[in-house]
Structure 1
Amino acid sequence: MSRSRLRLLLACLAALAIVIPLAWMWQASLVPATYSVMDMGTLDYGGGPEPAAGAMDHGSSGDMGDMGDMGDMDMAGMEHGATTSVADLVTKADGPPDVAVDLVAAQGEVTLASGRKVPGYTLNGTSPGPQIDARQGDLVEVTVRNESVTDGMTLHWHGVDVPNADDGVAGVTQDAVAVGEEHTYRFVAEQAGTYWYHSHQVSHEQVIGGLFGALVVHPARGSRNAADSDTVEAMAVAHTYSGTRTLNGEEGDVPFVAEPGQRVRVRVVNTDNGPTQVWAGGPYVVRAVDGYDLVEPTPVTDRSVTLTGGARLDIEVAVPDDGSAVRLHVGGATALVLGPEGSVAPEVTQPTEKLDLLSYGSPADLPFDVSDPDRTFDYDIGRRPGFLDGRPGLWWTVNGKMFPDVPMYVVREGDVVVMRIHNGTSEDHPMHLHGHHAVVLSRDGVAATGSPWWVDSLAVDPDETYEIAFVADNPGLWMDHCHNLPHAKEGLVAHLMYEGVDTPYRVGGALENQPE
């Protein structure tokens, strides 16, 4: 063989050594046009007991390609045996609702308070959509009609531990609501607090575009946590529309009329993908985080507090006695100005120090024992190049693997669960577990020493490691994902699955369910 032919042969072999693995990786990354989330990734039992043989056979990503030929057949039901459908996990309360709300979702333009129009989505003609107010124990019924959202839409009750059928995740707990169709959500508002609702269909576009609103569950009358007559409440719903920061849909300073000496409980909601800093022009008290009141919180001065994407803070501020106003900043471009009508609040720069919720407030006993958990899970966040559904790029990973080869965390009802979340990337991630609240046990090995810090949306910064714990007390199939929604679209999503629960819904398919 001549040298030229040998060189050509070697070059071809070298090319094949590159092309064949790449072709295999591309093929392995493909996701079928329709599939059940029950059949992705691998089952992770967290060191707990596994179900009896054959009771819960689980597909793997390697099998997903075969599912594409099954159409809309109930593969999960065939593979997993007799189970409870998420569609049957509903509120048991009968009778008329205490709170009934009708919403109409539309796609088009959002008109900001300045009059500027931006493309987006509205509910009943506005964004944010109407605030929904309920009292603890109320039966809430919300019917949404999709007037013109072309991709379909849903409503997810962010932070509200609703029954699984009402979680509002397209392709997991329901089908997307198509144009001209409607869907009714029905749940008991059991936990008082500050929450919000938003679409969970093409959420990385629809939430950013304005398809959301606030939900406030007020404490039951006469309860220990009921607001006293000297305290008034204000909303501060932060959102960025096409690069413009707003509070309650308004730009710049947003006035709120309050009398001298009056205390104002400001319910702050961060609907954006990234974190924001909150601080005041005077002392303030963080009363609640993600719907849970803190134990014996103390006044804070010269510090800001981080509010991650999807999270909420209830912050109490006292209006000055001298007739002036106080400014509560939510990010650098927007502020709520609290004081008498026409009063002026002095400017205040962002503090350099941050409040650490790990040691804020007073400790209290937890309602469950975390010393010997039933399940212990790892959620390691990484990033690496590869293919995601045939697309090359730099993608997020969970425990070293890219979607759809992500873990399915399996629990039994009643389990005490400890989860370790590590962020091995250079970006922060607001991690959101549906259907449950978790308590923070430690950060980077340092144990929590303040008030029990309950979260449903937790900021995990680069190189940070958190340990959180929760009780598996809400059966279903629940998303556990990054609430920087483009990150979820890029693969940073896993699920928490209860034994004996299955879903009839499919991602993709004729209804084009796209939860992220």
Structure 2
Amino acid sequence: MPSRRDRLRCGVVAVAVVTALGAGALAWSSTLLGEYSVMDMGAGAHGGAAHAHGAAASGTASDLGTRGGVDVTELVADPDRPADVHVDLVARAETIEVEGGHPVEGFTVNGTSPGPEIRATQGDLVDVTLENESVADGATLHWHGIDVPNAADGVAGITQDAVPIGGRFTYRFVVEDAGTYWYHSHQVSHDQVVRGLLGAIVVDPADSADPADAAGADPADAAPADLDVTALLHVYGGQHTLNGRALDERVAAAPGTTVRVRVINTDSGTAAVWASSPFRVVAIDGREVNGPTDVDGERLLVPAGGRADVAVTAPPDGSVLRLRTGGARSLLIGDPTAPEPSAPQPSETLDLLGYGTPDPGAIDFDPTAPDRSYEYAIGRRPGLIDGRPGYFWTINGRLFPDVPMFEVAEGDVVAMRIRNDSGEVHPMHLHGHHVVVLARDGVAASGSPWIVDSLDVHPGESYDIAFIADNPGIWSDHCHTLQHAVDGLIAHVMYEGVTTPFTIGPESGNRPD
């Protein structure tokens, strides 16, 4: 329930909005009520290379998307190929028993939260059928960090309708890249994700004993892991958990054993990772780090939605090391009977801009010669969204839904400058693609290629990023502090000629954020 202070703040904002914008603003906002299509959102932004940082062009997204007329439902994996991995998942609204804590009312997948970990091998075709048994608002599954075909992206109102109670939907996609990923609902996501409709998916490398080898890294850079452990972080009703338990976790490991820990941050805030002994960061967002080195006396920050694989070695003297994940929970690796060491949080943060060794061959396009360039400037101001007054996020000075639609064509090299003028951290997540970080605040990246799908942009920072438009569709590009997306911090990347038949609003029941 909102506090008296929160209610007063909302009232003040409402008065300010009406005063600043006048009665005309209220009339304008009423046109946003009801059903809408992302095809009609905002102004198109063509972003030609000659148009530095994407000045908005005239015309709506629907003008841009109708050329060619490919429906998002047509953008699928090979329908004739048999699945290598098949999984049935059932979503329910029910009580979650949090071991070591107290029960909470939330959502489960196959009776648990987190849901079952899905394991596949690089190159597999994965087939997942979602059944909604009792989630009243409907549900979907989004495959966070996996560059799936657009029809499998799981965003209600853009790539599918939310699955109603009693309904089913099948997702089919090939896992091209080994790595650590997760799945979660993208229907009323600010509620369903927070309350547990999620799980991990891990893709093992093909024809290799270690992901670093599969990625073409020098085997001397990282010894193959003897143990592989998932560490999924989530907060249930104020309880910080590790793999669904409000407890630390013991990992029995013989002296000298190398352990790969796959940290998955499913929360809306940044997680800090550090250890009582040196560790190496071997992968970020499913992409291997080239030439990782020991991290000692520094913490690694993992954005909301982000993942980081770290490698640790069980102490050779038979003791135990503590790997802190998210600050509140730890993995204790080594002799399960050994005393627990302390591990105070370091004050220094590892800078991934310069971590590891450069590898020019890891990027198969030239990010310095983009076909299109865009600006994604995040701000904040009073306004109205769908008739609701508030203090909302803006993109390039515009309030949702009058935000840029970033238009691309298949094969384009796309550059984007993300700038945060809003005063809060924003973990920015682009669906269907990974981006390479080129620079922060004008300082060029100098370490291993930093390739991500979830990127924390701190207040006052700007990042230059680039990606290759090689996955046709309509893709969300939003903040993964999920309430921020509800409050307008969401845009879309639209490929020329792609359309969607789905809509968002009370008639369809689709509410992606």
Aligned residue for 2:214? 225
Deviations 1:308-356 (A, max 9, x none): 1000000000000111111110122111111133233301100011100
Deviation string, structure 1 residues 218-263 (Cα, Å, up to 9, x no partner): 0002372399765210010000011110010111311122111100
SS at match of 2:116: strand
Say which SS state the counterpart of residue 126 (structure 1) adopts.
coil
Distance 1:79 1:373 in 2: 21
**Residue 410 of structure 1: which of 398, 407, 423 is its match?**
407
CA distance in 2 between counterparts of 1:81 and 1:225 reads 39
Q: Deviations over 1:5-24 (max 9, x none)?
A: xxxxxxxxxx9x97694221
Match of 2:429 among 429, 432, 445: 432
Given candidates 492, 507, 510, the residue that maps to 1:510 is 507
1:374 counterpart = 2:375 = no
**Residue of structure 2 equivalent to 1:280:** 275
Q: Deviations over 1:172-226 (max 9, x none)?
A: 0000000000100011111100000000000000000000000000000237239
Percent of residue pairs bearing the same amino acid type: 54
Q: CA deviation at 1:80?
A: 2.7
CA contact (8 A) 1:237 1:270 kept: yes
State yes or no: 1:270 paired with 2:270: no
1:409-467 deviations in whole A, cap 9, x for unaligned? Answer: 00000000110000001110000000000000000000000000000000000000000
Is 1:108 aligned with 2:94?
Answer: yes
Q: How far 1:46 moved relative to its partner?
A: 1.0
Cα offset for 1:479?
0.2
* One-letter identity of the residue aligned with 2:242: L
Amino acid of the structure 1 residue aligned with 2:335: P
CA contact (8 A) 2:64 2:496 kept: no
**Structure 1's 230 and 417: CA in aligned 2 closer, same or farther, altered over 3 A?**
closer
State yes or no: 1:94 paired with 2:95. no
* TM alignment of 1:194-205, pairs within 5 A: 194-205=180-191
What displacement does 1:81 show? Answer: 5.4
Could you tell me whether the CA contact under 8 Å between 2:260 and 2:310 is conserved in 1?
Answer: yes
Shift of the 450–115 alpha-carbon distance from structure 1 to 2, 3 Å rule, reads closer
Which among 455, 459, 465 is matched to residue 456 of structure 2? 459
The match for 2:327 among 318, 323, 332 is 332
Per the normalisation by structure 2, the TM-score is 0.90
Contact 1:77-1:83 at 8 Å conserved across structures: no
The match for 2:161 is 175
C-alpha distance in structure 1 between counterparts of 2:319 and 2:393, whole Å: 49
Give the superposition deviation at 1:156: 0.1
Counterpart AA for 1:479: S
2:6 match: none
Q: 2:307 aligns with which of 281, 292, 312?
A: 312
Amino acid at match of 1:386: G
Give the C-alpha shift of residue 367 in structure 1.
1.6
1:84 aligned onto 2:79: no
Q: Does 1:349 align with 2:344?
A: yes
1:142 Cα shift? 0.5
Letter of the 1:34 counterpart: E
Aligned-residue Cα RMSD (Å) equals 2.1
Aligned residues of 2:101 and 2:246 also touching (Cα < 8 A): no
Q: Displacement, 1:393? A: 1.0
Instruction: Judge conservation of contact 1:105–1:144 (CA < 8 Å) in 2.
Output: yes
Gaps of 5+ in 1: 1-14, 51-55, 61-75
Q: Could you report, residue by residue, the CA deviation over 1:247-295 in whole angstroms, capped at 9, with x for unpaired residues? A: 1011131112211110000000000001011001101000000000011
Amino acid in structure 1 at the alignment position of 2:263? V
Aligned to 2:246: 251
Note the C-alpha offset of 1:395. 0.4
C-alpha contact (below 8 Å) 2:380/2:422 kept by paired residues: yes
The CA distance in 2 between the partners of 1:49 and 1:334, in whole Å, is 50
1:29 CA drift (Å): 2.7
- SS of 1:344 mapped into structure 2: coil
The TM-score normalised by the length of structure 1 is 0.90
- Amino acid paired to 1:155: L
Give the letter for the 1:28 counterpart.
Answer: W
8 A Cα contact 1:57 1:80, kept in partner:
no
Is the CA contact 2:118–2:201 (under 8 Å) kept in the aligned structure 1?
Answer: yes
Aligned position for 2:8: none
Deviation at 1:49, TM superposition (A): 9.2
SS of residue matched to 1:236: strand
Partner of 2:127: 141
Q: Supply the distance in 2 between the matched residues of 1:136 and 1:165 (Cα, whole angstroms).
A: 20
| Separation in structure 2 between the aligned mates of residue 179 and residue 165 of structure 1, nearest angstrom | 21
Tell me the equivalent position of 1:498: 495
Distance in 2 of aligned mates of 1:273 and 1:139:
30
The residue type equivalent to 2:469 in the other structure is A
Partner residue of 1:475? 472
